[in-house]
Amino acid sequence: MKTFRVSLNLSLTNSSALAQTQTTPEPPKRRRGTSRWLTLAAPIALLVLWFLATDVLRLFTPNQLPSPIQVLRTASEMIADGSLWRNVAASIGRVVLGFIIGAGIAVIAGTLVGLSKTVETLIDPTLQALRNVPSLAWVPFLLLWLGIDEAPKITLIAIGAFFPVYLNLVSGIRQADRKLVEVGYIFGLRGFHLVRQIILPSALPYLLAGLRIGFGQAWLFLVAAELIASTRGLGFMLIDGQNSSRPDIMLVSIITLALLGKLSDSLLRIVERRALSWTDTFQGT
Amino acid sequence: MSSSIRAERVTKRYEGTLVLNELSLDVRPGEIVSLIGPSGCGKSTLLRLLSGLETEHDGRLLIDNGEVTGPSRAAGLMFQEPRLLPWLSVRDNVRFGLPKGSANAGLVDELLNQVQLEHAAAQLPRQLSGGMAQRTALARSLAAQPQVLLLDEPFSAVDALTRMRLQELLLDIWQRTKLTMLLVTHDLDEALYLSDRVVVMSSRPATIREIVTVKLPRPRDRRDAELLRLRAHLMESLHVVHATESVNVPTGTPFGV
Amino acid sequence: MSTHKITRRAFAGALIGAALLSACAAPPVPAAPAPAAPAADTAANPPAATGTKPAEVRLDYATYNPSSLVLKEFGWLEEDLAKDGVPVKWVFSAGSNKANELVSSNASDFGSTAGAAALLARTNGVPLKTVYVYSKPEWTALVVPKDSPIKAVTDLKGKKIAVTRGTDPFFFLLRSLKEAGLNQSDVEIVNLQHADGRLALERGQVDAWSGLDPHMANAELNAGATLLYRNIDFNTFGTLNAREEFLQKYPDYVQRVIAQYERARKWILENPDKTAEILAKEAKIDLAIAKKQLTERTVLDADVGTPGDKLRAALEAIVPILTSEKLVASDADPAGALAVLIEPQAAEAALK
């Protein structure tokens, strides 16, 4: 969708003519107003359905599915006495720490594997096998080896964050354009400098996608981690609600998790968009 | 600042196929020499060997009497595609060409001026037209302050008008720096407009069929009768090359028709 | 404009919309539904009934309910119900909290819980009724590991204590703390199911554990753990609860289940050693542990059977704790729940 405006100048030796070729920038941004309402449509519809199913049509008993009003009331009580914030803070702390550790290790491992076929043959097959262990299957082992405090929880979250980041980074490095690598060679780049200046920036779109997915996984693994032997957190709230026959607390926990997950994803998307402003790719119609 | 280029009986094989067979060529300092010939006749290979991107060959390759052992700043190489780093602005792409550790902002600005991109210095490659991108690539190559400039069909991917402007630019730069240039091109007019000598090559394996000297002073008039005559001569030469090949070529070879 | 504002606005907009709607709609259903008009039961797997007999009867069995283990072992209930072609299904319960969940989600028609746990569930809207008391246990106490420096309940301040929330050990812990002048926030409570709590104590991952038999007896015998604090009155009986809908539809079947439970209870009194063997096998524990639980800490011949005043009195002590420790919703009514929890009719009929 670029348009050319070339100002023709019959004197071919007039070098200022060169300066006048230009392009117009990218297509106009989507109208923000309508899309925002579209985003709201589904949650509002769900809420209305929920309300109808509980308070109006009484399709569910309160112990099966409490009404949104009840859940709202419980949530406001938990906000008022600070317990919701305490649990949220505990969970966010774990997610962030676990993610940083997991993603950090993944960047190192992914870089090594991506750059070296030898390293790949050494560790990739094992990692691929471990990748398929589901979150809850790790829990008993981590509890056994690391106890019941923060260590097993952070470790589990780190495991969850690790794989998407690792896999995406390896892909990103492997798809680095050979043509650009040659440019690096020509200008004297070798080894570490070649990697830092050409290969890693090339892999950045993949890495960022991996980070986003990894963060989402971190949230999922957080809940698994908090289901066992916790005293605080949104996962703890979930299981506590389960143990005390308080489905309203369970719902507050789930909704809060969903909102936090969406929020963090949106924030990462913003970071991604800024960092990848240089890419020249299909943006959707 | 500018150096000679010498190829001495250079032989190169790709997977058993002979691409260059004892090719010898001399380019004097400050000379502009074009290589023309059929596709796949080894012209690009020669440039890649001279740039040090490829190193396996028989024979000798010398720049200013120093053997080429790998990529170095002595030989700049421009490709058909601009090959700009998409995450860097125009200015940063040009700066990329500077020797490591040198922060010669002045040179970058000067080069941007020379290629007339000072107003686009902050743009990203995806915002550039083909011509602008190639100019950036040229500035980048020059930032390395090479002794020779190797160009592999540098202007073939842009439209005719832009191509002419880029040729002007190249000459402009040559006037300032008297950089030795070895240019691979399919465009006969380009070869004749720019070069001191035009080397006609045949392929399989690549050998020099004929070298045509262009004695016209620069700047040349594209409509000059002498150029037209030389053009006809080159066409004839190429026609013969082509005819010989149609007879000799077995089908299914890597560089097949 | 950042996209997270959209989500916040979405939620806010939806909430406002819902609040407006609620102003026009009927008042919300209270947390403890009136027993006379229960809502339609649309849960996971309701048994399809033909006539007045259920398609099957589902019961839970647990290591803290020895009678259930005996029943399951000998198949007496299956025998009895086979006369009417009604099959029996057994589901394992790892604790009162799990049993409540089974009943709430309609995965079982009966749940074995501590009396306090049944009250908690009922207050929170689980439609169950206590129909039978199967034991008067002293099954919970505060446990500390061997050579622990903790000598009194007050020493627990600031310590880590493992317990399963929503079960009798949990209430025991709260009441013991209260008696010593402490409350929940003075200690760090780690939520672990009973068996995991014992492991945590033995591995030194927690300082104390509010335990439950047989795991507690296990810890004492095999790991030298000691009981820091005991109080039989803080234990609230082993109760059998029936799903309200099941009770309403098939009261005679509830009666028959209770009758078999009685049979099991009497058999246990006459065959303590054999019972210990059954318990040991099911719980995968040593015979000595099973014996300890059954002989020292389970009473099966007094204050059991029809649920009545003794149970009610024990649960009345629980009512204030439910509210003060925020175990129930702020608008819940534990006293009201207690008033409707106990349903002695079926037991009375069975024990006649």
Q: Do B36 and B234 form a contact (C-beta atoms < 8 A)?
A: yes
pLDDT of A38 reads 84
Encoded tokens for A121: 């043959």
The minimal CB distance from A44 to the residues C14, C38, C165 is found for C14
pLDDT at C265 > cutoff 50? yes
- Least reliable range by pLDDT among A191-195, B3-7, B127-131, C44-48: C44-48
Report the distance separating Cα B153 and Cα B161, nearest Å.
16
Give the gap in angstroms from C-alpha C43 to the nearest C-alpha of chain A. Answer: 8
Nearest residue of B to residue A200, measured between CA atoms: B87
pLDDT recorded at residue B250: 54
* Helix ranges (DSSP H) in chain B: 43-51, 90-96, 105-114, 130-143, 160-177, 188-194, 225-248
Q: Which of C31, C166, C328 sits opposite A243 (nearest CB)?
A: C166
In chain A, the percentage of residues whose pLDDT exceeds 90 is 54
What is the DSSP pairing of strand A22-23 with strand C160-163? unpaired
Contact C22, C28 (CB under 8 A): yes
In chain C, where are the structural domains located? Answer: 57-137+236-351, 140-234
pLDDT recorded at residue B1: 59
Over the range C200-225, which residues count as b (16 or more CB within 10 Å of their CB) and which as e?
Answer: bbbeebbbbbbbbbbbbbbbbbeeeb
Q: Given this model, what pLDDT does residue C51 score?
A: 57
Three-class secondary structure of residue B14 per DSSP: strand
Q: Is B in contact with A (3 or more beta carbon pairs below 8 Å)?
A: yes
- Number of helices (H), then strands (E), belonging to chain B: the values are 7, 10
Which chains are within 8 Å of B by 3+ CB pairs? A
- Alpha-carbon torsion A7, A12, A15, A18, what sign? positive
User: Do residues C234 and C176 lie in contact, with contact meaning Cβ atoms separated by under 8 Å?
Assistant: yes
Token digits for C198? 């014992």
Q: Do the chains contact at B83 and A193, CB–CB below 8 Å? A: no
pLDDT reported for residue C165: 86
**Dist. CA A65–CA A58, nearest whole Å:** 10
What distances in angstroms separate CA C39 from CA A63, A185, B21, B94, C8, one per listed residue? 10, 75, 93, 75, 34
The two most distant CA atoms of chain A are separated, in Å, by 87
Using the Cβ of A11 and the Cβ atoms of chain B, whether some distance falls under 8 Å is answered with: no
Name, in order, each residue with C-beta under 8 angstroms of C116's C-beta and a sequence gap of 6 or more: C168, C171, C236, C314, C315, C318
Query: Are C and B touching by the rule of 3+ CB pairs within 8 Å?
Result: no
pLDDT band at A174 (very low <50, low <70, confident <90, very high): very high
Dihedral pair phi/psi, residue B223, rounded to 5°:
-95, 5
The token duo for A202 is: 């090339």
Q: Is the pLDDT of residue A58 over 90?
A: no
Q: Chain A window 1-20: which residues touch C at a Cβ cutoff of 8 Å?
A: none
Distances from the Cα of B92 to the Cαs of A203, A276, B102, B143, B164, in angstroms?
19, 16, 13, 11, 26
Q: Give the closest of C9, C11, C167 to A259, CB-based.
A: C11
Q: How many CA atoms lie within 13 A of B186 on its CB side?
A: 11
Q: Has residue A4 got a pLDDT over 60?
A: no
Question: Average pLDDT of C181-197?
Answer: 90
Percentages (nearest 5) of helix, strand, coil residues in chain A: 75, 0, 25
- Given B71, B88, B125, which is nearest A188 (Cβ)? B71
CB A249 within 8 A of CB A235: no
pLDDT in tens, A140-170: 888 888 888 899 999 999 999 999 999 999 9
Q: List, in order, residues 6 or more apart from A103 with CB less than 8 Å away.
A: A161, A162, A165, A211, A214
CA-nearest residue to A176 within chain B is B85
Domains and CATH numbers, chain A: 85-279 (1.10.3720.10)
User: CA–CA separation, A27 vs B127, rounded Å?
Assistant: 12
User: Any idea where the domains of chain B sit in the sequence?
Assistant: 5-248
At residue C272, does pLDDT exceed 50?
yes
Residues 6 or more apart in contact with residue B196 via CB below 8 angstroms: B31, B32, B33, B213, B214
Per-residue 3-state assignment (H helix, E strand, C coil) for chain C: CCCHHHHHHHHHHHHHHHHHHHHHCCCCCCCCCCCCCCCCCCCCCCCCCECCECCCEEEEEECCEHHHHHHHHHCHHHHHHHCCCCCEEEEECCCHHHHHHHHHCCCCCEEEEEHHHHHHHHHCCCCEEEEEEEEEECCEEEEECCCCCCCCHHHHCCCEEEECCCCHHHHHHHHHHHHCCCCHHHCEEEECCHHHHHHHHHCCCCCEEEEECCHHHHHHHHHCCEEEECCHHHCCCEEEEEEHHHHHHCHHHHHHHHHHHHHHHHHHHHCHHHHHHHHHHHHCCCHHHHHHHHHHHEECCCCCECCCHHHHHHHHCCHHHHHHCCCCCCCCCHHHHHHHHECCHHHHHHHC
Residues of B in contact with A180 (CB under 8 A): 83, 85
CB B96 within 8 A of CB B88: yes
Place of tokens 């790892």: C94
Cβ contact (<8 Å) for C28 and A48?
no
* pLDDT value of residue C35: 38
What average pLDDT is seen over chain A?
A: 85
Please tell me the pTM assigned to this model. Answer: 0.75
Residue C203 phi/psi, 5-degree rounding, is -85, 0
User: pLDDT tens digit string along A107-126?
Assistant: 999 999 998 899 999 999 99
Percent of chain B with pLDDT over 90: 61
CA gap B53, B45 in Å, rounded? 10
Interface probe for C, chosen from A40, A51, A63 (most Cβ of C below 10 Å), is A63
Measured distance CA(C221)–CA(C211) in Å, rounded: 14
Residue with tokens 């119900």: C81
Domains C57-137+236-351 and C140-234 share a fold: yes
Degrees, nearest 5: CA angle A124-A125-A126: 90
User: Does the pLDDT value for residue C325 go beyond 90?
Assistant: no
* B77 at interface of A, judged by CB pairs closer than 8 A: yes
C185 touching chain A per CB within 8 A? no
Question: Kind of pairing, strands B148-152 and B180-184?
Answer: parallel
pLDDT at C311 over 80: yes
pLDDT, residue B247, reads 57
Residues B146, B151, B155: CA angle, nearest 5 degrees: 130
At residue B248, the pLDDT reads: 54
In whole angstroms, give the CA distance from residue C202 to residue C221: 12
Residues of chain B with C-beta less than 8 angstroms from the C-beta of A186: 51-53, 71, 76-77
pLDDT band at A16 (very low <50, low <70, confident <90, very high): very low
Residues of chain A neighbouring B169 (CB-CB closer than 8 A): 15, 18
Interchain CB contact of C16 with A (< 8 Å) = no
CA angle A187, A190, A203 (to 5 degrees): 90
Q: Are strands B148-152 and B75-78 parallel, antiparallel or unpaired?
A: parallel
Q: Write the CB contacts of B88 (distance below 8 Å, at least 6 apart in sequence).
A: A278, B96, B124, B125
B1: which residues sit within 8 A by CB, 6+ positions away? Answer: B145, B147, B177, B178, B179
A283 vs B251 pLDDT, higher one: A283
Contact C329 A248 (CB under 8 A): yes
Cis, bond preceding C214 (omega within 30 deg of 0): yes
A188 contacts B73? CB cut-off 8 A: yes
Q: Is residue A192 less than 8 Å (CB to CB) from chain B?
A: no
Q: Which pair of tokens denotes residue C341?
A: 């929890």
Superfamily of domain C57-137+236-351: Periplasmic binding protein-like II (3.40.190.10)
Hey, are the CB atoms on A51 and C21 less than 8 Å from each other?
Answer: yes
**Residue C10 pLDDT > 60:** no
Mutate to test the interface with B, among A21, A24, A181, A194 (most CBs of B within 10 A): A21
Is A145 touching B (CB cutoff 8 A)? no
Among left, alpha and beta (phi > 0; psi -120 to 50; other), residue C162 is beta
Chain C residues touching residue A72 (CB < 8 angstroms): 15, 18
Per CB-CB distance under 8 Å, the chain B contacts of A15 are 116, 165, 168-169, 172
Angstrom CA distances, B257 to B34, B39, B187, B205, C340, stand at 23, 9, 19, 14, 94
Residues A19-31 have a mean pLDDT of: 46
Please state the rounded mean pLDDT for residues A76-92.
Answer: 93
End-to-end CA distance of chain B: 41
Spell out which residues of chain A touch residue C124, defining contact as CB-CB under 8 Å.
Answer: 63, 244-246
The full length of chain A comes to 285
Longest dimension (CA), chain C: 77
CB A230 within 8 A of CB C191: yes
Q: Which pair of tokens denotes residue B12? A: 């190169």
Residue whose token pair is 């007339």: B116
Nearest C-alpha of chain A: how many angstroms from B74?
A: 10
**Residue B245 pLDDT class (50, 70, 90 cuts):** low
Contact C350, C262 (CB under 8 A): yes
Q: What is the CATH number of domain C140-234?
A: 3.40.190.10
Taking the C-alpha atoms of residue B51 and residue B48, their distance in angstroms, rounded to an integer, is: 5
pLDDT (tens digit per residue) in A187-198:
988 888 898 999
Q: Which of A7, A15, A18, A196 should we substitute to test contact with B (largest number of B Cβ atoms within 10 Å)?
A: A18
Rounded CA-CA distance A106/B166 in Å is 46
Is-contact B210 B239, C-beta < 8 A? no
Antiparallel, parallel or unpaired: β B58-63 and B66-67: antiparallel
Rounded average pLDDT over B248-255: 51
Please give the pLDDT value at position A24.
41
Local structure of residue B75 (DSSP, 8 states): E
Chain A (245-284) residues lying within 8 Å, Cβ to Cβ, of chain C: 245-246, 248, 259, 262-263, 266-267, 269-270
pLDDT in tens, B98-147: 887 777 778 899 999 999 999 999 999 999 999 999 999 999 999 998 99
- Put simply, the answer to whether A179 touches B219 (Cβ < 8 Å) is no
What is the reported pLDDT for A135?
82
The half-sphere exposure of B239 on its side-chain side, counting CA atoms within 13 A, is 6
CATH code at B5-248: 3.40.50.300
Nearest CB partner across the interface for A278, out of B52, B119, B124: B124
